[in-house]
């Protein structure tokens, strides 16, 4: 059974190997300009998706409330 530490070491070794193949020399650091730029872009792209999901949930709840308030639900 592989321990969490062994999996971490394997993932770090694999990441290092891929970085070497891609020629990546410097990693982004938290607070760096590139990190901040892409973090902000990720926020901007996730917001509309979260808003769409919220809208869908609200509409579903409204339909359920409407259905509960109807007399004779399921009858023609």
In a domain, 12, yes or no: yes
Q: Where are the alpha helices (DSSP H) in the chain?
A: 4-22, 33-69
In a domain, 43, yes or no: yes
Residue 72's pLDDT is 53
In a domain, 75, yes or no: no
> In the structure encoding, which two tokens stand for residue 40, read together?
């902000």
**pLDDT over 60 (residue 51):** yes
Residue 14 pLDDT grade (very low, low, confident, very high; cuts 50, 70, 90): very high
DSSP code of residue 76:
-
Task: Work out how many domains the chain is built from and give that number.
Answer: 1
Mean pLDDT score of the chain: 86
In a domain, 74, yes or no: no
30 exposed, middle or buried (CB, 10 Å; 0-12, 13-18, 19+)? exposed
Residue 43 pLDDT grade (very low, low, confident, very high; cuts 50, 70, 90): confident
User: pTM, whole model, 2 decimals?
Assistant: 0.41
Range of the domain at 53: 4-69
Mean pLDDT, residues 9-32: 91
- SS3 helix, strand, coil % of the chain, rounded to 5? 75, 0, 25
């Amino acid at each position: 059974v592989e321990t969490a530490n062994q999996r971490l070491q394997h993932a770090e070794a694999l990441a290092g190997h891929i970085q070497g193949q891609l020629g990546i020399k410097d990693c982004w650091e938290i607070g760096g300009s590139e990190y901040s730029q892409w973090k902000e872009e990720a926020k901007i792209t996730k917001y509309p998706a979260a808003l769409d999901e919220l809208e869908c949930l609200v509409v579903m709840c409204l339909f359920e409330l409407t259905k509960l308030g109807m007399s004779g639900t399921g009858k023609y």
